[in-house]
Amino acid sequence: MDSSSSLDQSSSDLVITSRPSKTETKPTRTRNTRGGQRRTRNQPSKIEEPKTEPQTLESPRSASKIKEVNGKKKQSVDLEFSEDSGKDQIRGEVEFSQPVVADPGPNPPKAEEKKEEQENINVDTSKDDYSNQLVTGSYFISREKRVSHLKSKQKYIIKSNTSDLLIAKDIGFLTPDVYINEGSEIHVKAQNFKYKMTTNFKQDEFKILKGTEEIGSLMYNNEYGDSYGPRKIQVKFGETEIHSKIPRLAKDGHWVLQFGGHFTLSSMRNAILLDSEGKSIITIRKVGKNVLELTVTKPVPLYIIACLGISSYIYSN
């Protein structure tokens, strides 16, 4: 759960500062005495506050700025939102589909205590049909809007930390089908693709086809009895079924999830998927403009990761 705002982010114009230090001078006050002599005593004067302009400093973090006000450094976060930011809301805005923000928890892990992410395994691009391999690790899915293309409006790239793995593009208007291929080339008319993902008119149900065989499905909804909330995801492939974790509703009205201290932009696409035992298997985090990061902790087919990320973009509620 466009949308990636959050407990560790604020708008780019917001800087929380402390009141500047106050300085005061004490002028003398005189009064007459019996002997005609004049005695003096100190009296507080009006408080003067120094006026200084904020100074912007360089920061090692690409998504934040450090500002120095009156000698004290203050940090503000510069967030990036996708072009369809009507669905990726900044915290505080009232919208039917509220974003899910990252909750660091009562005791966020220290940097030296964070566990190293599991490296990508079983991705051998030299083998045929490598998209069917079981993998773990971190994968990134980016979306590119192509205004000049009448039939294919969206293109998707699925990559690891080191290389591009899959490419996908849609064909159609109201209910576009998405075609997925290994590598960086895809030609639908020439039948140069591995998978096809179809959707219904509401674009909340997806079927994954390899040839004419259905090999997986994804379902989305946001119904919670008599009310509505963050999106719920259900994924099926083979004998495996995984589902999304329901975020916690905070006192301020925002839905929050814990991502272990990882950088996350507020978005309705942020999600954590659980296996049948209730253990985390896939996390979806918005990490940039039109970029999702999917972290997989238990082996899952690579094509499922791709379809999960692409369908997260297509489903709009």
Give tens-digit pLDDT for 238-254.
Answer: 999 999 999 888 888 88
CATH (one of 3.20.90.10, 3.40.50.12780, 3.30.70.2860, 3.40.630.30) for 111-314: 3.20.90.10
For the chain, state the CA radius of gyration: 27
Query: How high is the pLDDT of residue 26?
Result: 56
Q: Is 184 left (phi over 0), alpha (psi -120 to 50) or beta?
A: alpha
Quick check: 200 pLDDT over 90?
A: yes
User: Are 169 and 157 spatial neighbours (Cβ–Cβ below 8 Å)?
Assistant: no
What integer is the mean pLDDT of 75-83?
A: 38
**Predicted TM-score (pTM) of this structure:** 0.65
Backbone angles phi, psi at 316, to 5 degrees: -105, -5
Q: Which residues contact 26 (CB under 8 A, 6 or more apart)?
A: 42, 43, 44, 45
Q: Domain locations in the chain?
A: 111-314
Could you identify the residue written with the tokens 């790239």?
Answer: 157
Higher per-residue confidence, 302 vs 37: 302
Higher per-residue confidence, 51 vs 213: 213
Query: How high is the pLDDT of residue 250?
Result: 87
Residue environment code for 227-239, b if the CB has 16+ CB neighbours within 10 A, otherwise e: eebbbbbebbbee
Strand partners, 256: 101, 248
What integer is the mean pLDDT of 151-179?
A: 88
Q: Which residues contact 128 (CB under 8 A, 6 or more apart)?
A: none
| Sheet strands (E) in 70-153 | 72-77, 100-102, 134-145
User: Are 256 and 272 spatial neighbours (Cβ–Cβ below 8 Å)?
Assistant: no
SS3 167: strand
CB-count exposure of residue 200 (10 Å: 0-12, 13-18, 19+): exposed
